[in-house]
Amino acid sequence: MLVRRPVRAFLGLAVSVMLLSACQQPTKAGDATAEAVEIQEIPKPSEYMDTNLPENAPTYLVGTMGSYAPMEFRDEYGQSIGFDMDIIYAIAARQKFHINVLTHPWDGMLHTLNTGERDIIISSVNLTPEREEVYQFSQPYFALQDVLLVKTTNDKIHSFEDLVANKSKVSTLKGSAQQTNIMQLGVTENNVIPSDSQFIALKAMFADASDAVVGEGPVMDYYALSYPEVPTKRLVLPEAPTQYFGIAVKKGNYELRDKLNAGLKQIHEEGIYDRIYFKWFHKPVPKDFLPWANG
């Protein structure tokens, strides 16, 4: 994609006259009146995006939160990038379909599948029995555990049990599985601070509006590395089970689900999945990370 960015702006007819004059006469070196126009190429949102797909290939509307680095977030041009975006663009390239990525707040995003506003949701969606009753999911494409981040200067919290005993405030992504988990583990509702994004939840802890922030391990690790000026300690939730992310489609849309599964298998077999993982997490894919890939 190309955008024109004038170095100097002119108004109305003056612009047209000057540009016409510039086209008709050679520009002298050092001429201060010459109009310079910089042509800047906007990079693709993913190196795995296939720009050569046929125009008549199907197009799907993809929903994502766009504020959950490194899984999905926006670049300087407002495009959604990240691990999830590389995965869905790579799948689309292998399965020969176009995607149009649209952002949406986490709360209510899955429901857009039922209203027809979105065809696919890829936004770090935890696979849960409750969600699988309402939506159709791909095979898991990511595994993780939930963790807490606490400032290292907080000498009252050294474990999750300390957090519950001290009736500490915990910020979390509104409507997330993590919000449900901490409440089931003893954090009372009035000590939960729901936020519209994981980054806002993190900022609440930075500003001491909460004592801790809960989130998914890889995302919390990314934030801890990104903000070394606020040293934090990492606490794993008690008996934290391994959880999985899946790509969601409308319940009963087996055709689209099967495309996603086939594409996921292709990018895994071709080594593309491993390259995407290393790009965002700077380490190899852990052993037995994707249960379906072991067979």
Which pLDDT tens digit goes with each residue over 193-242? 999 888 999 999 999 999 999 998 888 888 888 899 999 999 988 877 88
**Span 242-260, pLDDT tens digits:** 889 999 999 999 999 999 9
Q: What is the mean pLDDT of residues 138-160?
A: 95
Which residue has 């926006």 as its token pair?
Answer: 74
Q: At 199, list the tokens.
A: 């980054």
153: Cβ–Cβ under 8 A, 6 or more apart, which residues? 231
Q: What is the CA radius of gyration of the chain?
A: 24
**What is the model's pTM?**
0.72
Q: Which DSSP symbol is given to 67?
A: E
Domain locations in the chain?
59-143+244-294, 146-236
For the chain, the helix, strand and coil percentages under 3-state DSSP, each to the nearest 5: 35, 25, 40
Which amino acid is located at 12 in the chain?
G
Q: Do domains 59-143+244-294 and 146-236 have the same CATH topology?
A: yes
Question: Superfamily assignment of 146-236 in CATH?
Answer: Periplasmic binding protein-like II (3.40.190.10)
The CATH code belonging to domain 59-143+244-294 is: 3.40.190.10
pLDDT confidence band for 12 (50 / 70 / 90): very low
